Structure 1
């Protein structure tokens, strides 16, 4: 016996379709339900709704009363004809993440059924091999849990007074770091708009990296102005170095140059500042920023490792990118001399011969640490020791 539902005086302009829809979901495709109602025009409203949904509807008269026999349409009927599912939402399931994300999936959630007639949306980065990182979901979860509030995480009222020349050195170093962090924000932001939303874990990682960099820019700027100073010198050489990052069109190459080499080097610099900065505020900022940057490096390493596993010859492309960048910057001055001198003064903490000697030695040790860190990451990505050492040496003198 077929089910019968009475929608009573409820009209289809007030939600009656929900009762019919639910009743149809309880029967198999091709099976019938009977619908009765009492509102004016309910039968014509029902018939129109059924046509739009792909369910055959027949009106009959029985005992002087209008009744409707509605047959549940098949899965591909009506408005869902040609619809398709975009895979599973859970990336751990087999086949959940497609090798090629289709334009017709548009902005739909992965795993959703996309209605026929939805507009095609073309995203340049639609190949899994070009963007995927197996740890992306975990890295995003870590980043989300580790977000920090500059107002509460940093003691802006911590008492300290530095000699003017040392304070100026801190301001110069942070001015330099601000423009580098702007580049580290703009590069992932540019790719974020080109990435197919099907790869949502990578999308989330890039978005939270942008948030990290925005926060770093904010706190570096606040520290610059903490004692009434304004930003110091920005050089053409530094800007040229960063422009090469913005000009790189390939996602994997950009991740390599920015995250693996540049931000990896910056982690060493931030750890140096955490250890040697002459004031507590700068030390706190450096510690928190280094933690964020280490996650950015981890994403770049994870992505590059996955791509190189599938495409070992891509190492040649990465090596060529380092050489090309070095060649493009051969006519520039590299690291701002004012920044180098400022790092010495910052690490010295005071303007005396003995202190400056100590600061100079610490900066030399920083350079060695940066180079060894780059070489270790390159070797981890499968470059031989000699190649890794050579590529590390070719990395821009501007650090980023």
Structure 2
């Protein structure tokens, strides 16, 4: 931009037409001015002044064609529409884009799919997202947990030595298959729950969306590797019981995001981390041990997100603990008539911990599974106490957790 003889800012678009990008030069020139200030534009292309006048009308900038010293120019006055639209966006309650990471307490439907902090043009369609309150979904560590998860992703094809040579007795291979069959259906539930809420979270809370999305990817990968191990020696999946499926259905039926995170991540997946560590210690083959180690690492992140989210909500809303306690009791009541843990799974765990089918080994395996149950209960109790439940409350709620582990 240069100063013309009129002492007004002037730009020369030369032979560039408005069908070839001349508007960018004019637009940039106007952005340097305050609303109400003027810009002189000259050009040399055929009909350039008519094209400029049409563009100005479409953008809300008044303009006047003039002849100065024998040369045609168009004097453009910057309109106030853009600035007004920007001010309206800032005053709408949207997070100020100049504040790094600013998060609104309530995300508006009018923001739709726009990037957080973007200026949303008037007339954009409103989009309803059920989870549009910060307190419903937020976790301060969401961005860090997503970054950790993204860095820790693993490829089933290369992270696991599928070519490792091993041969197990039929009864032991059958036990591995039964345990993994049970784990597959639990991982399906752990995929479906966050996937269901993912589409309900307002995009303003993008870090939470990212965490849920990567959790879904984690569970999909777990289902893949568990299934692949089941079929590694030519077996088909084992038994799925009505009691197990009934237990998981209660997770799918929960409509409150925080309660679902509590039941699934804090209690269920937290318990599953203990089970995966148990399998890593006692699995009879290297492939199953590798799978258990990698899956446990992923599940620990899921638990961390649930804990972070619940801690934040309970800090703002301490009375919500009663809601969580009632949810555990209600789930226990709903499953009172179910059979709990698949007997075939329980027996398979004993056999895997035993290592062989002898009285002494089975006795040792049984004690190891009993210790697993204790470890699971103590882990749940510890997490509950960290969320502010008293030791007595934590013990009671831990004891009420489903016998199906998840």
Q: TM-score, normalised by structure 2?
A: 0.95
Q: In 1, are the aligned partners of 2:85 and 2:119 still within 8 Å (CA)? A: no
Q: Distance in 2 between matches of 1:192 and 1:2?
A: 54
Q: In 2, are the aligned partners of 1:102 and 1:126 still within 8 Å (CA)? A: yes
Q: Within 5 Å, which residues of 2 pair with 1:164-243?
A: 164-243=170-249
Name 1:396's counterpart in structure 2.
402
Q: CA deviation at 1:66?
A: 2.5
Name 1:338's counterpart in structure 2.
344
Q: Distance in 1 between matches of 2:13 and 2:71?
A: 14
Which secondary structure does the structure 2 equivalent of 1:4 belong to?
strand
Which secondary structure does the structure 1 equivalent of 2:40 belong to?
strand
Name 1:357's counterpart in structure 2.
363
Q: Distance in 2 between matches of 1:284 and 1:136?
A: 27
- Candidates 82, 90, 95, aligned match of 1:87: 95
Q: Within 5 Å, which residues of 2 pair with 1:1-400?
A: 1-74=7-80, 76=82, 82-84=88-90, 86-88=94-96, 93=101, 96-400=102-406
Q: In 2, are the aligned partners of 1:35 and 1:67 still within 8 Å (CA)? A: yes
Q: CA deviation at 1:352?
A: 2.0
Identify unmatched segments of 5+ residues in structure 1: none
Q: In 2, are the aligned partners of 1:173 and 1:342 still within 8 Å (CA)? A: yes
Cα deviation, 1:234-273, whole Å, max 9, x if unaligned, reads 1111111000000000000000000000000000000000
Q: Distance in 1 between matches of 2:32 and 2:86?
A: 19
Q: In 2, are the aligned partners of 1:82 and 1:115 still within 8 Å (CA)? A: no
Q: In 2, are the aligned partners of 1:55 and 1:78 still within 8 Å (CA)? A: no
Q: Distance in 1 between matches of 2:135 and 2:65?
A: 55
Q: CA deviation at 1:77?
A: 5.7
Q: CA deviation at 1:38?
A: 2.0
Length, aligned pairs only: 398
Cα deviation, 1:340-385, whole Å, max 9, x if unaligned, reads 0111111222222222122111101100000000000001100011
Identify unmatched segments of 5+ residues in structure 2: 1-6
Q: For structure 1, which segment, 204-213 or 69-78, has the greater mean C-alpha deviation from structure 2 after superposition?
A: 69-78
Q: Distance in 1 between matches of 2:48 and 2:33?
A: 22
Q: Distance in 2 between matches of 1:287 and 1:90?
A: 43
Distance of aligned partners of 1:208 and 1:388 in 2 relative to their CA distance in 1, 3 Å threshold = same
Q: Distance in 2 between matches of 1:298 and 1:362?
A: 27
Q: CA deviation at 1:287?
A: 0.4
Q: In 1, are the aligned partners of 2:244 and 2:341 still within 8 Å (CA)? A: yes
Q: CA deviation at 1:71?
A: 1.3
**Runs of 4+ with >6 A deviation:** 78-81
Q: In 1, are the aligned partners of 2:103 and 2:205 still within 8 Å (CA)? A: yes
Q: Distance in 2 between matches of 1:274 and 1:159?
A: 18
Q: In 2, are the aligned partners of 1:82 and 1:116 still within 8 Å (CA)? A: no
Q: CA deviation at 1:7?
A: 1.0
Q: CA deviation at 1:28?
A: 2.6
Q: CA deviation at 1:180?
A: 0.3
Q: Distance in 2 between matches of 1:172 and 1:89?
A: 53
Which secondary structure does the structure 2 equivalent of 1:390 belong to?
helix
- Compute the RMSD of aligned alpha carbons: 1.6
Which secondary structure does the structure 2 equivalent of 1:332 belong to?
coil
Cα deviation, 1:284-342, whole Å, max 9, x if unaligned, reads 00000000000000000000000000000000000000000000111110111011011
Q: CA deviation at 1:110?
A: 0.5
Q: In 2, are the aligned partners of 1:53 and 1:79 still within 8 Å (CA)? A: no
Q: Distance in 2 between matches of 1:165 and 1:90?
A: 64
